[in-house]
Amino acid sequence: MSPDLHAEARRQIEICNACRYCEGYCAVFPALMRQTVFADGDITQLANLCHNCRGCYYACQYTPPHEFALNLPGILAEVRQDSWERLAWPAPLARRFHESGVALAGALIVGIALIFLALTALRPASGEGFYAYLSHGAMVAIFAPAFLMPLAAIGVALGRYWREVGGGALRLRHLRAALGDAARLRNLGGGQGQGCNFEIEDRFSDRRRRAHQALVLGFLLCFGATSAGTVMHYLMDWPAPYPLLSLPKLLGVPGGMLMVAGAAGLVHLKLRAERELGSARVWGGEIGFILLLGIVAATGLALMAFGGAVWLALHLGAVLSFFLLMPYSKMVHGFYRLAALAADARAREARGSADAAD
């Protein structure tokens, strides 16, 4: 635990609990108003529930230069960031990549180099499309563990998170509620759908939410494209390359384009936003992460358009580093946020039945 961060967050949360003006913006305030005493785990949960919409910063009469010096989005971002680094497994890797875009770029280069090496060392005698450069077997041998091991690491971290925040017994309906909130990014909506206060200070805008939704939808489409390819390869005995009017391409092309557009949008907005209302320490790592996602998508599109060993290496290298970095980069935010939303759905329900019992 980080005593200083949690103590400062507690100080600010207690002021909010005496004020409550921001109760309508997001799930954080109703959650904090259910309590009067805040254990460290409660604060970690509130921090991961916060979507950094910044509504409660610009609406707050106590922001600096007021002596109460409130910056709730800022301190919650620090606590959240700290929790991702602290709970990661193994933890020392995490801090480096979270903070530094340069470290991410380094990882990207290493990933690409590894693929180049594989290409030259394992070049198959025959094969079509990109399998002409790297056999299907070799690809699976590299990517299956590169995907599953990080997922296992994330699983460990989420288990630690759940224990820290006292998540309790999870039901499917809590997860459903969480997925619904995540899909709509309800907590970036300002409480009434007007959006957040990210890139134009105290004016509301829904652009950040839209850009994020484009990115995630694109990501899911690309994921769907890869899954469709896998199914076609194994179950239908139909290996790549696929024609334009096939599921992998129908999903992958718009998916890649959405991802590029979403990532470009997020970078654009992030350059305009005030850094101190997030975790300024990791700004570089966050930009690096958005760019990495953009590069994954852009190189995939280029590979489809132009083919060739170079694009293949660039794309597979980017995907490889993205996978390996999942537990140690901003990518974990999706997992933690889902967990926080699910825990909140459960807490709301528990509270509801307590009220009914009164």
Partner 1 sequence: MARPDDLDGPWDVVVVGGGNAALCAAITAAEAGARVLILESAPKAMRGGNSRHTRNFRCMHRAPMSVLTDAYGEDEYLDDLMLVTRGKTDEALARMTIRESEDCLPWMEAHGVRFQPSLSGTLSLGRTNAFFLGGGKALVNAYYNTAEDLGVRVAYQAEVTHVGIEAGRFSHVVARIGATERRIEGRAAVLASGGFQADLDWLTRAWGPAAANFLIRGTPYNRGVVLRDMIEQGCETVGDPTQCHAVAIDGRAPKYDGGIVTRLDCVPFSVVVNREARRFYDEGEDVWPKRYAIWGRLVAGQPGQVAYAVIDAKARELFMPSVFPPEQADTVATLGERLGLDGAALAQTVAEFNAACRPGRFHPTEKDGLATDGLTPPKTNWARPLDTPPFYGYQLRPGVTFTYLGLKVSDRAQVQTPQGPLENVWAAGEIMAGSILGEGYLAGFGMTIGTVFGRIAGREAAAHVA
Q: Applying CB under 6 A, which residues contact ligand HEM? A: 51-52, 182, 188, 212, 215-216, 219, 266, 270, 286, 289-290, 293, 333-334, 337-338
Of 86-94, 154-162, 178-186, 189-197: span binding partner 1 (CB under 8 A) = 189-197
Q: Which of residues 63-82 bind partner 1 (CB under 8 A)?
A: 63-68
Q: Determine phi and psi for 205, rounding to 5 degrees.
A: -155, 145
**Amino acid of residue 214:** A
Q: Determine phi and psi for 194, rounding to 5 degrees.
A: -80, -10
Of 19-27, 251-259, 328-336, 337-345: span binding partner 1 (CB under 8 A) = 19-27
* Contact of 129 with 312, CB cutoff 8 Å: no
- Count other Cβ atoms within 10 Å, centred on residue 56: 24
Phi-psi region of 238 (alpha: psi -120 to 50; beta: other; left: phi over 0): beta
For residue 281, give every residue at least 6 positions away whose Cβ sits within 8 Å of its Cβ, in sequence order, or none.
Answer: 78, 81, 99
**Does the footprint of ligand SF4 cover residue 72 (CB under 6 A)?**
yes
**Using CB under 6 A, which of 5, 6, 8, 26 touches ligand SF4?**
26
Furthest CA-CA distance within the chain: 74
Radius of gyration of the chain (CA): 22
**Does the footprint of partner 1 cover residue 39 (CB under 8 A)?**
no
CA 200 to chain CA centroid, nearest Å? 23
Q: Which of residues 42-61 bind partner 1 (CB under 8 A)?
A: 55-56, 58-61
Comparing CA positions, the residue from 52, 44, 54, 27 lying closest to residue 85 is 44
**Using CB under 8 A, which of 120, 194, 227, 230 touches partner 1?**
194
**Does the footprint of partner 1 cover residue 356 (CB under 8 A)?**
no
Closest CB to partner 1 among residues 67, 237:
67
Q: Which of residues 156-215 bind ligand SF4 (CB under 6 A)?
A: 187
User: Which parts of this chain interact with ligand SF4 (CB under 6 A)?
Assistant: 15-16, 19-22, 25-26, 28, 50-56, 59-62, 70, 72-73, 76, 187
User: Which parts of this chain interact with partner 1 (CB under 8 A)?
Assistant: 14-15, 17-25, 33, 36, 55-56, 58-68, 191-192, 194, 202-203
